[in-house]
Structure 1
């Protein structure tokens, strides 16, 4: 199956591409989508371009990756999300939505599609979400998708931050250790 283009009830999911650069930069440069991690704001288009280079390489190498999510009815950008194979041997679940589309169930729809695609593509590889403890909306989305918390502890990248790791299954201790 080709996972580069999928549809859900309300979303059109297309593998990220450089054609999306301007819109994805606008999304990632908006401080409102980084309230839980202000240092994550993209201050240059080059930062977004570097991410897109990595994300398009994921599709080429792994056959699955992050999608640009648009509304099916009008093509409006909803956000970006999907799964990305990490060196830890897990699929990293990611979702970031434009402020105008938050709170409308789009994140749940995107997450469901990502988990279903990852499971269909490679059921042996766990799906994992890394969240900051104070990002309650993201935590609720992960929990509603059936992920369970497998670790909680200090964040390596955010001084004083607490990182949560959620997964779609129980993980062996050595895998959990590699995740944080």
Structure 2
């Protein structure tokens, strides 16, 4: 499992998110430009980013996989943060239902360069290697065309479309993509929160 903490793709160096990433991750998650599809998700307090990092560290410790910081693979000196993403394990209330939640968020200037595809491929490979019986799921807002295209290009299939529970916009529509058909209780992990 330690090999997954640092993974390389064709152009990216993916490293397990840790406390040293908080500053750059907060800048990314506080940027309104990366939240144009869900403004209410933007981090307005550093404590939100710190909590996200703590959850990721716990995910790496307990499940062997969580989110990575994305940086350029090549280059000398400090490598700028391009984004963050990976797979986080989600459990149902009874702990007998689980799914890998595929997450990807790129800095606005990095959209359209194919980095999401590299990240998604690495995350799916890692999740499948660790727990092949657990589905990989991406849930996103219908009007987020870029995220939808990324999920579809990655070979995920649309398995659900419906209201976005908890979204401040009552008209928001959520899409759920997965690498296999989902049972009702697994689908509920993404549609009832």
- TM-score where L is the length of structure 1: 0.96
1:99 aligned partner: 108
Structure 1: runs of 5+ lacking an equivalent: none
Q: Alignment partner of 2:91: what SS?
A: coil
Per-residue deviation at 1:178?
Answer: 4.0
- Equivalent residue in structure 1 for 2:130, among 121, 144, 155: 121
Please tell me the root mean square deviation across aligned C-alpha atoms, in Å.
1.1
Matches within 5 A, 1:56-135: 56-74=57-75, 75-88=79-92, 89-135=98-144
CA contact (8 A) 2:90 2:189 kept: no
Q: Deviations over 1:86-119 (max 9, x none)?
A: 0140000000001111110001110111001111
Q: Alignment partner of 1:86: what SS?
A: strand
> How far apart, in 2, do the equivalents of 1:98 and 1:169 lie?
29
1:37 aligned partner: 38
> How far apart, in 2, do the equivalents of 1:169 and 1:155 lie?
21
Per-residue deviation at 1:76?
Answer: 2.0
Q: Alignment partner of 2:4: what SS?
A: coil
> How far apart, in 1, do the equivalents of 2:129 and 2:138 lie?
18
Between the two proteins, the alignment pairs up a number of residues equal to: 180
> How far apart, in 2, do the equivalents of 1:17 and 1:116 lie?
22
Q: Alignment partner of 1:22: what SS?
A: helix
2:53 aligned partner: 52
Task: Identify the range of structure 1 (69-78 vs 134-143) with the bigger mean alpha-carbon deviation.
Answer: 69-78
2:95 aligned partner: none
> How far apart, in 1, do the equivalents of 2:8 and 2:106 lie?
17
Structure 2: runs of 5+ lacking an equivalent: 93-97
